[in-house]
Structures are given as C-alpha cells and as structure tokens.
Structure 1
Amino acid sequence: MLGVMDFRIEQWRAWAPGLESKDDWRTWCEAPVRVADGQQQPDVSFLPAMQRRRLSRLARMLFQVAWPLAEAYPALPLIFASRHGETPRTLAILNDLARDEPLSPTQFSLSVHNAIIGQWSILRGDTSEMTAVAAAGDGLEHAMLEASMLLGEGAPAVLLVIAEEAPPAVYAPYVDDVPFPYAVALLLTPGDDWHLQLGSGAGQTAAWPHPLNLLRALCCGQPTLVHHWNNRQWIWSHNKA
C-alpha cells in the first residue's frame, strides 16, 4: 500500500460553462446536474489581447482558475492533469492530414500535452518545475502524487490543475467521462488537513468525474471520499480537527 500523502488545500477555484463563482459551485454541488455547453469562453481578460489569441479554450480554462491562486507567488510549481488534452486541436490536425493539406506548425506545437504548461511558464515568467500528466480515471490522484513529492522536497506551495475539454462529436461514442467542460485548481501547501492513501479493491464507478466529486466534498464538508478506478482504491480523508 502506498504511504499516506498529507497536504493542505489552501484554496480552490473551478470553472465550467455557467459555473464560475464559489457560490455557483456550491449550488451545483448540492444538486449536481449536467451543464449545457454553449461554448462559453472563460474570462482571461487579465492577459493582454495578443497573448490571449493563441490560447485554446482548455488553456483559457486553466488560466482562469489558476492565475488568481498564483498571484501571491512569484515562483510556483505547477502540476497539470488531463486525460484527453487538446482533442479539438488534434482532430483539426487529423482533418488537415486527411485532406492532404499542409499542417500548421503552430497548431501542432500547441496540441502536445505539455504545451499549456509551456504557455503558462512564458506568460507568468515562471521557470519553476512543471509537469503535465495524462492518466486514466484517476489522473487527479496521480497529479496529487507528483504534488506531494514536490511538497516533500520543500516546496512551500504547489498548484494543481485538472481540466477536461468537451470532446468533439466524432469522439462522443468513445469518451464518456466528460459530462461537460470543467477545470479545477487546488493550491496545495504542507500540512495534515487532508490525507490520501492508495489501497486495492474494486468498487462502483462514480456518477461524476472524480475532480467534481472532490469539489462536492469540499463544498459540503464531506470528511471522507473514496474513488475506485480499476483495482485501485483511493481514500481521501479530511481531518477537521
């Protein structure tokens, strides 16, 4: 069994279409429903217009939730997790290939999984350690493992962001774990308010993606959260004392 990871969730922010403030999310968490995606764009007006132009919606989602949490830190390690990444950009490149059209070097460079953290590093002027994680249904926990190691090495804080874009329609039969676009940012610091431990054992798949279930635990004061994926059992527990 993996040793217990201890940490403190100092602050959190989240974004989805129509859900931006903490009050919005608290209301959603009390009665979760599938959110209609009207292709709304996250507000990143704090960035200069020329810098915003190259950002995909997935990148804007990350910037919208993460930027305010990072403002107090001139240097802040970042862990970015996404199972599907820039699927709209990737599909556009595949369509160009199918039509024998020349590929856009910009589109290709921004489609790779670590492109978003590269944009973040450039726009923030931050050369701290940054990692992009692509895992399956427990990507949040794998990102937490990366963040926990950084905290254990002495980082005063780590920013963790997990985000998923709505898949293009052609992928809909194969991608069933993104009910709507969302991004969740956690500002993590050393502490023992939260414990995360890995065990084994099969269990029932949750109705909502695990990052959204974590938000529900945060908003509703839920002390324990168990997430099953394959034969892994991740146990989150909050020490209210």
Structure 2
Amino acid sequence: MIEFNIDRWHAWAPGIDSPDTWSRWSAAPWQPPASPDLQPDVSFLPAMQRRRLSPLARMAFAVAWPLAEDHGPMPLVYASRHGETPRNYELLCELARGEELSPTQFSLSVHNAIIGLWSIMRGDTSEMSALSAEADGLEHALLEACALLDEGAPRVLLMITEGVQPEPYQPWIDDAPFPYALALVISPGRQWRLTLDSAAGATEPSTWPHALNLVRALLGDAGMPVHSCRGRHWHWHAAP
C-alpha cells in the first residue's frame, strides 16, 4: 500500500484541454477525433524549441509545464507504454529504403528523450526517470514517485502520455484509442491510497484509457478506479 496526495493535475486530449471541457467529457465521455491537426498549445516555448518536439512530447509539455511553473525544480517520473513509436517506425522505413538516418531523429526517438528535453528546456537537473510499462504504467509511475517522496522529495511531477500509433501496429494496440496526456503533482499525504491485490478477480476492460478513468474519479464522475493487468489488480482509494 502507498499513500500520497494529488496536489494538482492537468490533462489533454484532442479538443479536451480546459477544466470545462474535461468536466463535460467526464460526465458523458466521448471518443475525440485522433486528428493530426488537433495539437496541444505549447506557445510558451520558443519556436526553435517547439520544432524539436514530437506530438507526444508536445502533449507531455502542454500538461506538465503549467504545473511546474508554480514550483522550483522537482523530480520527474515519465511513463508511456508505446513511447515514440512513430519516430521509430519512420527510422525503420528509412532503413528499409536504404536512406541515411538522421542522428537528431534517432536521439529523439529513445524512450527517455522527453525527460531529456524537459531537463534542458527547464534547466532542471533533478532526478528523472522514464518508465516503459504495460497497461498499468500509471501505477508503476506512482510507485516510483512515492519512492522519491520517501527519500525526501517534497513533491514529484508525474507524466503519462500515449499517442497515435503507426497504422501497421494498430491491430495489436487497443489501449490508446486516441492521444492523451496526464500530469500530476504528487506530495506526501493520505488523500489517496493505492493497493495491490494479486488474488482478486480481473476487472472488465474499460472503454477509456486508464489514466483518464482517474481523471473522472478526480472530477467526481466515476467511482474509484480498479485496474487489472496480468494478474496485478490495483485498487485506488480516496480519503473520505
């Protein structure tokens, strides 16, 4: 069991990027269009820096930057199941065509590229981790964040993102029906509790990404999430 507070959160999905739109989505969820034209606003970054960001990185920066502005440097835990798969796929296609690979594109395709860019652009040298987990990446990221709190960090920034995957991969990916990103500021406390039960029965798969079910719980439009993945059954509890 781990206990923690969620001080603030911010989320993004196509066309859902404000408290009002998240409240409407939470009350009656719909599937937003996965249109490449619907990109998060990162105009707070200089144009030269924006050009280096992939759609996945833009989402991460859009949800996390406003939360980090209220604090000084703080540790970061980033989680994504699929990461920069589109960039990796493009590199594979270039290899198949016998083309030379761009060193810049390669360096930005690795799983920890986003936290590297974050550290550079914010000038933050705090401890940072990039996790590649399965469908319960949010819970594993929380375990990592709470370990940092236990080591004395006053707060930890947590990001989780998933983007649209290349078409050849889509038949095998069912956990990211549309792009989304969620950032949380985690601090010590007892507002929330997360427990793991390996003996409980599996829960029914959710229509919506698990991280967004947490958003619905935060907004009071859904019960506490219970999430199953490969025999791991995670139970979320909020303080009464």
Instruction: Decide: shared fold, TM above 0.5.
Output: yes
Matched residue, 2:2: 5
> Aligned equivalents of 1:167 and 1:221: distance in 2?
29
Tell me if 1:211 matches 2:227: no
Matches of residues 21-170 of structure 1 in structure 2 within 5 Å? 21-39=18-36, 40-170=38-168
Between 131-140 and 216-225, report the one with greater CA deviation.
216-225
Instruction: Spell out, residue by residue over 1:21-75, the C-alpha distance to the aligned partner (whole angstroms, 9 max, x if none).
Output: 0111111111111111221121011011111110001001000000010012221
Letter of the 1:224 partner, please give it.
M
Matches of residues 161-240 of structure 1 in structure 2 within 5 Å? 161-200=159-198, 201-203=200-202, 204-220=204-220, 222=222, 224-240=224-240
Between 32-41 and 81-90, report the one with greater CA deviation.
32-41
> Aligned equivalents of 1:222 and 1:175: distance in 2?
25
> Aligned equivalents of 2:119 and 2:125: distance in 1?
6
Instruction: Spell out, residue by residue over 1:204-223, the C-alpha distance to the aligned partner (whole angstroms, 9 max, x if none).
Output: 22222210110111112656
Gaps of 5+ in 1: none
Indicate conservation of the 8 Å contact 1:210/1:227, yes or no: yes
Between 71-80 and 221-230, report the one with greater CA deviation.
221-230
SS at match of 2:172: coil
SS at match of 1:113: coil
Gaps of 5+ in 2: none
> Aligned equivalents of 2:114 and 2:224: distance in 1?
32
The alignment yields a C-alpha RMSD, in angstroms, of 1.0
Instruction: Spell out, residue by residue over 1:57-109, the C-alpha distance to the aligned partner (whole angstroms, 9 max, x if none).
Output: 10010000000100122211110000000011011100000001001100100
Select 2:11's aligned residue among 9, 14, 17. 14
> Aligned equivalents of 2:101 and 2:51: distance in 1?
19
Indicate conservation of the 8 Å contact 1:58/1:165, yes or no: yes
Q: Normalising to structure 1: TM-score of the pair?
A: 0.96
Q: Between Structure 1 and Structure 2, how many residues are aligned?
A: 237
SS at match of 2:219: helix
Q: Percent identity?
A: 58
Indicate conservation of the 8 Å contact 2:27/2:221, yes or no: no
SS at match of 1:173: helix
SS at match of 1:10: strand
Indicate conservation of the 8 Å contact 1:8/1:188, yes or no: yes
How far off its partner does 1:228 sit? 1.1
